[in-house]
Structure 1
Amino acid sequence: MKRYNSKRLTALVLSSIFSLTVMGTAYAEISENYVRDDTERLKSTRIEEMSVPRTAAVNSASMGNPAVVDLTLLESVRMAMNNNRTIKEADTDVDSAKWARHEARRAAGPQLTWEGSARKIKGKAGDYIDQQRQMGNINYDGTKSYTNSFSVAIPIYTGGKIENSIAASEYGIDVADLTLEATKQNIRYQTTAAYYNILQNRNLIQVRQEAVDTLAAHLKNVNAQYTVGTVAKSDLLRSQVELANAQQNLINAQNNYDISVATFNNIVGLPINTIVNASDELTYTKYELSLPACTEYALYHRPDGLAADRGVKAAEAQMNAAKSGWQPSLTAQVSRNLGGDGPFKTNGSVDNNSTTYGVVATWNIFDNGITEAQVAQKKAALKKAQQEALAMDDKIQLDVQTALLNLQAAEKNIQTTKVAVDKAQEDYKIAQVRYSAGVGTNLDVMDAEQALITAQTTYITALYNYNTSKASLDMAMGIKVDLDVAGYYKNGLPGDIPVRESADKTQNLSASEAAMPKTHAIQLPHAERPSEHESANVDVATEAAMAEEAVAEAAVSETEEG
């Protein structure tokens, strides 16, 4: 009998091992095929994504004919909003934050668990059980033991851990949304600056080309006079050198233009070799702006400023969640236990077929200081977040002041350099007339030409600096792209200064900082972001009007092209 049972047991084990091996092999093949298919699908998706906007340009480039695109500044910014990789990266952070909130919320719901086991008793104990079974004392195979346990548990009280974790994840979504908006504003500025750089380099090419043409004509005149012996050979040589230098400067200007176009293409998501025809011009538009008004607007509209404040609230919630380690927890639980000499059988003892339900209370009375250490870490993180928020406010004020000062300086330079260009043109004409009349020197003509080029270059640079400084001021003030940051404050009204103190104390802050009012930890609705197919609200004129309405900016007084 023992030998027979041993053979049966051996056959059963071998059969089980074979079955598990076959199932494992099949599962491995299925998993491998799935992973392979998923990888191929991912590659295909990436190839399609990359090929859609680039195929035509790549094909044309391969034939030696790069694509040509006519773009205004507004169209360029919209293209960047749709194509820029940095924006897409920030958008994935929003999705990640939403899944983190989903995870935190699911912790408050029921959880179903299963636990099973299979055992075999051998040796003397197994022999004794077999004897008892043969004698009829037990009516089941006691050498085999299969157990299954199903339980459903739902937390009733966690000392605030779940609630604060959810709150922290909500603030995390706010931070991700605001960071996305800040990223869009930064890309808008980069696109604007790159577009203006194209205009600047295009104008500089014109200046250098005019210098080459002028010096070529002057060299022709000097050569004619040298032929008849009215001027020295040194004048001819100097004119030739100046023309060669001007031609070299023209080549460098053309190269700078090509680089600025390639940089622009990289920002807006066009193929690098695309030829861009910028439709706009560098212009001067006068703005009446005050530092206090711009700073006040920025403090309530900069997305990275409010993101820092939301970071303070998230750190506070995480600290409160850590404090739950000092509190008891209460969980409602229902369990179903099955046991027997076969899978899901209930023969055997009474305890192997039972259902239990009730409430489980746990309290970690002494954890050797682990909770205290965790709370201390979160409290330090909170203080760090507070200082980061304060530093961000300082940075916002510095950014606004720097951009406004640069704008004002560039405006003054425009006025002075415009006058300088007019005088330099007149001086060059006089130098040419004097040289032709024989009362001036060739050096006078060269100096006047160089002064004219310098004045024209400085004027173009001043126009570029003025327009980019205005774009920088828009970013420093937080002129929106998609998200209305003011809506994240209570009622969207001024006077709600973001929180600047911890939940317990403010001794780490100065008296003026601690006295600042704070917002209540209310959960505000998240602003809806447009789909990828919707155009971003990036009209520069509209943005300026919005800023003027909010901070009483003045209207445009004059416009002149550079």
Structure 2
Amino acid sequence: MELKTKFSLIGMLLACFLFSQVSAQEVLEFTLEESVQYALENNADAKNALLETFASKASVGEQVAQGLPQINGGFDFTKNVAIPVMFLPNEGPFADPDNPSDVIPIQFGVNYQSGISVTVTQMIFDGSYFVGLKAAKTVRQLSEFDREKTENDVIEDVKKAFYTVLVNHDRMELAEANLARIDSLLQETTALHEEGFAEKIDVSRVKVQYNNMSTELDKINAAFDISKQLLKVQMGLPLAYEMKITQTLRDLNKPEEIKELLENPGYRRVEVDQLQTNWDLVRLDLKNNTAQYLPSLDANFTYQRSGAGQEFNSVWDGANWYTGAFVGVTLSVPIFDGLAKAKRIQQNRIQLQQIENQRVMLDENIEVERYQAKTTLQNNLRTLEVQRENMDLATEVYTISRIKYSEGVGTNLEVVEADSDLKEAEINYYTALYDALIAKVDLEKALGILR
């Protein structure tokens, strides 16, 4: 019976393990939009930026709480190990004829004493309070802009990684087709050699091409797998899951969309909002330092009960407890602080000037960035068109060379050279395609339309 139980437990564990493996290998399908949305919800930076907005919201409540009544309670218990002594002159009505000294020591206190109190403090006026409240709300607004900036960075990284996967996928399919083409040529050339119509060197040339193409395909496969893993990292998708891209480059880069992108004038960038909010914070800090010159007024109330006794048990006797209560106001007037506030105000004014300079520079940099991004995309599109034409021409040359070789009017060397030129044209085309896609994302970022 025990043996059956052990086998049952082992079977259950194996079933759970296999089920977890199957779940981990679940294939998830993503479009570009779905990848971006998943990243905004699961990327670590995006999640931390969202949490920061929650923290800044809590800081507003913290600032509000400073203007509400502050209530504190206290309890104390003291055992006087050595009761303090006061001295009186040993003369007059207090004279002690049995005491040879000229002073009489008198103990003031008891062995045990205790107390309980409640203190309520209410701010009546503090010039810094309302400035701090507004500053807390401004910090919350800044956290929202920081979150938007972080999300833009996440979108940029995901889009570039997504395009890299698509480019590597197309390269992989083309490399597989090229390998099949070279394999067909190798079989044909080998057959001609066996029949005496081709030399051994012709077979060797094609074999070298085949080996090189096979190695290149392995590299492209590895690059494709790596690019998918990097995309998962950018998205926040667990690496154990298998993902499948359900869109092609043609679906995402339609000519009319590219034209519309190049004609887009752009929108307000979040970096401008961040800088403006920082300017507001410095201005509020300036107001706060100025308000430090104003007096502050607080109301306070204290209620306490005190008890004492010579014996421990008598301390808790209600007859030994007495009530005390105090109410009052506290006015604090700043007089001189060594010019500390004046120096802080001076620093604030300098910071405002610095931010103004940064604002001018930022506006100019944004304009240059937009111009540069548009120019780069236009140049990359022209380069892409040239490389596409070169690839078509190289394909045509290879086809003609292959036909001539099959009909016996061309050489094997011509076919090998044409194949080498075709592969080079393909590499140049996909390099230009990748550059154009990255330039497109950079332009979207420069225009402030990354979504």
TM superposition score normalised by structure 1: 0.65
Matched, 1:282 2:241: no
Q: State the match for 2:125 in structure 1.
A: 157
Partner of 1:208: 175
Give the match for residue 221 of structure 2: 254
1:325 aligns with 2:284: no
Partners of 1:167 and 1:155 in 2: CA distance: 17
Provide the C-alpha distance between the structure 1 equivalents of 2:306 and 2:241, rounded to a whole number of angstroms. Answer: 73
1:285/1:410 Cα in 2 relative to 1: closer, same or farther (>3 Å)?
farther
Q: Does the CA-based 8 Å contact 1:164-1:317 persist in structure 2?
A: yes
Residue 205 (structure 2) pairs with residue 235 (structure 1): no
Tell me by how many angstroms 1:441 deviates: 3.2
Match of 1:474 among 433, 441, 444: 444
Q: Structure 1 residues 195, 61: CA separation in 2 closer, same or farther (over 3 Å shift)?
A: farther
Rounded Cα–Cα distance in structure 2 between residues aligned with 1:149 and 1:171: 39
Q: Name the CA distance, whole Å, in 2 between partners of 1:73 and 1:416.
A: 27
**Deviation, structure 1 residue 477:** 2.4
Q: Please point out which of 152, 155, 160 is paired with 1:188.
A: 155
| Bigger strand fraction | 2
CA 1:255–1:60 in structure 2 vs 1: closer, same or farther (change >3 Å)? farther
Asked if structure 1 preserves the Cα contact closer than 8 Å seen for 2:83 and 2:110, the reply is no
Unaligned runs of 5+ in 1: 1-55, 133-139, 482-562
Match of 2:63 among 104, 129, 135: 104
Amino acid paired to 2:85: A
Match of 1:465 among 424, 428, 435: 435
Equivalence for 1:524: none
Aligned partners of 1:425, 1:216: CA distance in 2, in Å?
A: 17
Distance 1:338 1:436 in 2: 112
The aligned residue for residue 105 of structure 2 is none
SS in 2 for 1:326: coil
Alignment gaps of 5+ in structure 2: 1-14, 89-93, 95-107, 309-314
CA contact (8 A) 1:319 1:378 kept: yes
Tell me if structure 2 keeps the 8 A contact 1:60–1:66.
no
Whole-angstrom distance in 2 between the partners of 1:382 and 1:329: 27
Q: Deviations over 1:9-32 (max 9, x none)?
A: xxxxxxxxxxxxxxxxxxxxxxxx
Per-residue CA deviation, residues 217-244 of structure 1 (Å, 9 max, x unaligned), is 2122222332333333322211111110
Comparing 454-463 and 164-173, the one that deviates more = 454-463
CA distance in 1, matches of 2:388, 2:16: 41
1:327 deviates by: 2.3
- Percent sequence identity over matched residues? 22
Equivalent position to 2:85, from 100, 125, 136: 125
Return the alpha-carbon distance in structure 2 between the equivalents of residues 344 and 291 of structure 1.
88
Match of 1:368 in 2: 338
Could you say what secondary structure the match of 1:112 adopts?
Answer: strand
Candidates 29, 51, 67, aligned match of 1:92? 51
C-alpha distance in structure 2 between counterparts of 1:158 and 1:409, whole Å: 61
Conserved 8 A contact 1:315-1:382: yes
Shift of 1:273: 4.0
Displacement of 1:186: 2.1
Kept in 1: contact 2:113–2:307 (CA 8 A): yes
TM-score normalized with structure 2 length: 0.79
Deviation at 1:470, TM superposition (A): 2.7
Q: Which amino acid aligns with 1:305?
A: V
1:76-87 to structure 2, matched below 5 A, reads: 76-87=35-46
Q: 1:426 aligns with which of 390, 393, 396?
A: 396
Choose the corresponding residue for 1:294, options 248, 260, 265.
Answer: 265
Mean Cα displacement is larger for which, 437-446 or 94-103? Answer: 437-446
Q: How does 1:363-512 map to 2 (within 5 A)?
A: 363-479=333-449, 481=451
CA offset digits 1:321-348 (Å, max 9, x no partner): 1233322212223333544425797969
Q: Deviations over 1:345-367 (max 9, x none)?
A: 79699xx723323x321112112
Q: Which amino acid aligns with 2:21?
A: S
- After TM superposition, give the deviation of residue 246 of structure 1 in Å: 0.4
1:401-425 deviation digits (Å, cap 9, x = unpaired):
3432232123212322222222111
- Picking from 25, 31, 34, the partner of 1:75 is 34
Cα distance between partner residues in 2 of 1:266 and 1:285: 28
- The 3 A distance-change label for structure 1 pair 58 and 258 is farther
Secondary structure at 2:85's aligned position in 1?
helix
Hey, what does 1:244 align to over in structure 2? Answer: 211
CA contact (8 A) 1:148 1:344 kept: no
The within-5 A match list for 1:306-321 is 306-321=273-288
Q: Are the structure 2 counterparts of residues 480 and 151 from structure 1 closer, same or farther at C-alpha, using a change threshold of 3 Å?
A: farther
Letter in 1 for 2:63: A
> What RMSD in Å do the two structures reach over aligned CA positions?
3.4
Q: Which amino acid aligns with 1:271?
A: P
Q: Is contact 1:338-1:346 (8 Å) kept?
A: no
Asked whether the equivalents of residues 111 and 154 of structure 1 are also in contact (C-alpha less than 8 Å), the reply is yes
> How far apart, CA to CA, are the structure 2 residues paired with 1:236 and 1:336?
105
**Cα distance, 1:148 vs. partner?**
4.5
CA drift at 1:262? 1.2
Instruction: Describe the SS at the equivalent of 1:472.
Output: helix
Q: Matches of 1:346 and 1:364 in 2, distance apart?
A: 46
Q: Secondary structure at the match of 1:288?
A: helix
Q: Give the letter aligned to residue 288 of structure 1.
A: K
* Per-residue deviation, residues 126-174 of structure 1 (Å, max 9, x unmatched): 999xxx9xxxxxxx97565545543322222223x11221122111111
